[in-house]
Amino acid sequence: MIHRLPVALLALLITTGAGAAASGCDFERVPVGDQKIGAWIDKSNWLSIENQRLSLSAGDVFMPAWRLAPGGEAKAPAAKLRPVDDIQAIDPFDGRRRNLGFLLDSRLYADGLVVLRNGRVVAERYRNGLAPDQPRLLLEASRPLLNLLGAMSVSEGKMAAERSVVRYLPDMAASTGLRKISVQRLLENKEYHVWTPEEIEAWRRAGGWTTNQADNSIRAWLSAPGRWDKTLTERQAPLFGASPDDDLLAWTLAEGNAMPLSRLFCEQLLSRAKPEHAVLWLSDAQGVELASGLGLSLRDFAKLGQLLVEARSSRSGGRIPRWFVETLLASSGLRSAEIDGLAKGSEPRYGFVHLGGARNRVALIGAHGTSLYLDFDKRLVIALYATRPGDNSAGTLALLEQTWKAIGRAVVAPGK
């Protein structure tokens, strides 16, 4: 069966086969680079928070990757971009009114900001060496996009929500711990396997994040005997943290759709968004795309948010299922769990966050402040790349909330 082929071989067949259709989703294999930037950043520390402003935009220097050339023309922004630095906002740390430029630079450590209104760029801001056309790694922020791909696969009949994930992973058939996990349960992203620090480090080594050995294989690690003999619990890990569960989902998606993950992502989402800049997807030494390996320019990250906004009102039968969008937007229940730092009523849904307060607002939140904010009623998208040190504390989330509110007030005229 073709979906059992190693992903690197399958990708080669897809991209070079005589019968392959020209779909604009042909990723090119990129060998690992020098694994060093300057005198001090190397494989041992490239993901340290103090280095990410340089290293996240140079993922292929440190790891093998697949690269997609840009397929769309760069869109001209609105005739006059809205300056954001002078927008007034409340600093959640001391309650004082400050300008947004201060909060972005001194509180959030924001490297880039793109604001879309009705699909047009109305504000754009770059700092600290972030190039507008450079794909930057999303890391943990990629998981909600994988959940979205899963929802699309279910809606199209490629995968069955109630089926166990081992239905799509024959190599894992002997894993009793996975037999009880349905595709739906994995996509909902509400539960968490409790991994030890040693297991997390071994998982990262298997993917090649911290080593560069020829035998690095994420799937060999995932399929080791007894790997999934763990009890699922309600998520107690960092709310927006990465885990081996992400790569389990990535493998399930690739096998269930019989194509490499990067191509699936392109055909389902990128081909509609028409990326303006190159797209990067890091892999292990075997060529298997890693769940946290997606790299996008900030504009292309924002355009994915625009696809979701348009999916709610589209009458053209877009691939993003309407039920998925409505699930993200549905009002919170009376006993909804609260997320410290965000408005009351905020709760995780499929890896995204349904935001409390004003209606029909959703956020995708990654590590260190990187985020994608969607206001469906105002047709507003705010994409942010940031490198704030530490985990996503209540203070970080409160900063994001204030930033979103301030920009929303400034760029959307009352009544429009």
Q: What is the pLDDT of residue 16?
A: 38
CA-based nearest residue to 291, from 199, 219, 384, 184: 219
Provide the residue type at 24 as one letter.
Answer: G
Q: What is the pLDDT of residue 318?
A: 63
pTM of the model: 0.92
Q: What is the pLDDT of residue 7?
A: 45
CA dihedral 227, 232, 236, 239 (to 10 degrees): 80
Hey, what are 280's tokens?
């990067």
Banded model confidence at residue 317, pLDDT cuts 50, 70, 90: very low
Mean pLDDT of 364-376: 96
Degrees (nearest 5) of the Cα angle 291, 312, 384? 50
- Phi, psi values for residue 38, rounded to 5°: 65, -155
CA dihedral 229, 232, 238, 244 (to 10 degrees): 40
Q: What is the pLDDT of residue 96?
A: 95
Q: Above 90 in pLDDT, residue 372?
A: yes
CA-based nearest residue to 306, from 349, 353, 362, 354: 362
Is residue 367 packed enough to be buried (19+ CB in 10 Å), middle (13-18) or exposed (0-12)? buried
Name the more confident of 11 and 42: 42
CA atoms within 13 A on the CB side of 138: 31
Provide the residue type at 359 as one letter.
Answer: R
Per-domain residue ranges for the chain?
2-73+137-296, 88-132+298-411
Per-residue HEC secondary structure of 380-414 comes to EEEEEEECCCCCCCHHHHHHHHHHHHHHHHHHCCC
- pLDDT tens digit sequence for 183-206: 999 999 888 888 999 999 999 999
Q: What is the pLDDT of residue 76?
A: 61
- Among 94-103, 200-209, 336-345, 400-409, the range scoring the smallest mean pLDDT is 336-345
Q: What is the pLDDT of residue 20?
A: 37
Q: Above 70 in pLDDT, residue 225?
A: yes
Query: SS3 for 353?
Result: strand
Q: What is the pLDDT of residue 77?
A: 60
d(CA 369, CA 109): 8
Q: What is the pLDDT of residue 19?
A: 36
Q: Above 90 in pLDDT, residue 113?
A: yes
State how far Cα 68 lies from the chain centre: 17
Mean pLDDT of 231-258: 87
Q: What is the pLDDT of residue 1?
A: 36
Provide the residue type at 135 as one letter.
Answer: P
Average pLDDT taken over every residue of the chain = 89
Mean pLDDT of 367-378: 96
Cα of first residue to Cα of last residue in the chain, in angstroms, is 53
CATH number of 88-132+298-411: 3.40.710.10
d(CA 137, CA 365): 14
Mean pLDDT of 16-22: 38
Q: What is the pLDDT of residue 336?
A: 64
Q: What is the pLDDT of residue 22?
A: 42
Residue with tokens 């998520």: 235
Q: What is the pLDDT of residue 271?
A: 87
Q: What is the pLDDT of residue 236?
A: 59
DSSP 286: T
- pLDDT tens digit sequence for 76-89: 665 578 899 999 99
Q: What is the pLDDT of residue 14?
A: 42
Mean pLDDT of 291-296: 98
The share of the chain scoring above pLDDT 70, in percent, equals: 88
Give one DSSP letter per residue of 83-147, joined into a string. Answer: P-TT-EEE-TTT--EEEHHHIIIIIS-EEEEEEEETTEEEEEEE-TT--TTS-EE-GGGGHHHHH
